[in-house]
Structure 1
Amino acid sequence: MSSPSARWTAFAGQRLLASGPPAEVVTAARHALDAGDSEPLLLFDDATGRPVDFHLRGSLKEVLARLQSAPAPTEEGSEPRGPGRPKLGVVAREVTLLPRHWEWLATQPGGASVALRKLVEAARATHGDADRVRQAQAAADRFMTMMAGNAPGYEEAARALYAGDRTRFNKWTRAWPDDIRDCARRLAAPAFVRDAP
């Protein structure tokens, strides 16, 4: 269900239970349930800020087994990998281009697929920092909407997040519950690269 580098965060109400590898996080969440914690439990994927739909029913051993046996999530619209070049992880999808684009791709060494892969890799290298900022903004915003959407200063904090203004972001999140504030700041940190020394 998750890659080895994945990081999840679990909350019981407004209280942070754990943040780290998924197995550690679901263990902490399962222990909270076993201890009779009545607060609603929420698990988040730190990379996206989205809630993780993972069932904590059963014993800890059963929960961890379910975590290990669950298939890795696929991107929206992707199909499970079938025959053909499995070591490369090639995934076939539809691409819609204008005729002049197809004509240009047909003249490239290696054909359209090789040319498109090279273009994507070049764009990733050129725009990697901007992509990381955008991903951090989206993840922090999703988390904030769910956990602090009604908190004072939420809208101002969201504006500061998208403006890349760490000082204003910290100001407007200061009064939030400690664990929510700290998690939002951690998720948002890569969005503030412009104010780094």
Structure 2
Amino acid sequence: MTPTFTAFAGAQRLASGVLADVALAVKHAGTTPAPITIFDDRTGRAIDLDLRGSDADILARLPQNAVDDEPCVPAASEPRGRGRPKLGVVAREVTLLPRHWEWLNAQPGGASVALRKLVDDTRGASGDRDRAREARDAAYHFMSGIAGNNPNFEEAARALFADDRRRFVALIAEWPADIRDHVIALAYRDRAD
């Protein structure tokens, strides 16, 4: 999934989409009466960009992983370590007790295959819960960054973390529309309830 970003000029949404489009929209917005902040929609955190120079200069400075959503792979000039860097696999250290290593090594395919299967199974089993937590955290970071002084902020944060959607939406109903709509979209993305 391509990462998306949203720029706000004060309480008004200025642009939303891929980072390149949002960065250029902010540059071309010129001066605005309110400060412009760009948020990463995945994390809800504000990001800083260098918007000096031409459009080509700005695009060249954008973080590559935010533009193409590819994993950061070590460049060819960097010394190669263990793993399969072309596939994005980098060796890391895992500390386990000897009985854990014995069990892993006894599994078909060895320790690496067994660990990958365990991680994938766990991710599948807790996927919905993890996505809901990530969405909630993103909404909280966003609302803290842009709406921390709004009425009912603390109560809304409590309702968000209690997963009380009805109360949360009621508490932020009087917030500026663009902020309210964006925080709700972040908090409840990928959820049908």
- TM-score bracket, normalised by the shorter chain, equals 0.7 to 0.9
**Paired residue for 1:72?**
65
**In structure 2, what is the Cα distance between the partners aligned to 1:92 and 1:165?**
41
Shift of 1:14: 1.6
Query: SS in structure 2 opposite 1:44?
Result: strand
User: Equivalent residues in 2 for 1:73-92 (5 A)?
Assistant: 80-81=73-74, 82=80, 84-92=83-91
| Cα deviation code 1:96-118 (max 9, x no counterpart) | 22222222112112221111111
**Paired residue for 2:94?**
95
Unaligned 5+ runs, structure 1: none
**In structure 2, what is the Cα distance between the partners aligned to 1:142 and 1:136?**
10
Shift of 1:26: 0.9
Query: SS in structure 1 opposite 2:29?
Result: helix
**In structure 1, what is the Cα distance between the partners aligned to 2:127 and 2:157?**
22
**Paired residue for 2:114?**
115
TM-score, scaled to structure 1: 0.84
**Paired residue for 1:172?**
171
Shift of 1:38: 4.0
**Paired residue for 2:53?**
58
Distance 1:38 1:61, change over 3 A: farther
**Paired residue for 2:7?**
10
Which amino acid in the other structure matches residue 118 of structure 1?
Answer: K
**In structure 2, what is the Cα distance between the partners aligned to 1:175 and 1:192?**
23
How large is the Cα RMSD of the aligned pairs?
2.1
Which amino acid in the other structure matches residue 31 of structure 1?
Answer: H
Which amino acid in the other structure matches residue 180 of structure 2?
Answer: R
Unaligned 5+ runs, structure 2: 75-79
Query: SS in structure 1 opposite 2:16?
Result: strand
1:25 aligns with 2:22: yes
**Paired residue for 2:155?**
156
Distance 1:161 1:191, change over 3 A: farther
Counting matched residue pairs gives 183
TM-score, scaled to structure 2: 0.85
Shift of 1:87: 4.1
Query: SS in structure 2 opposite 1:56?
Result: coil
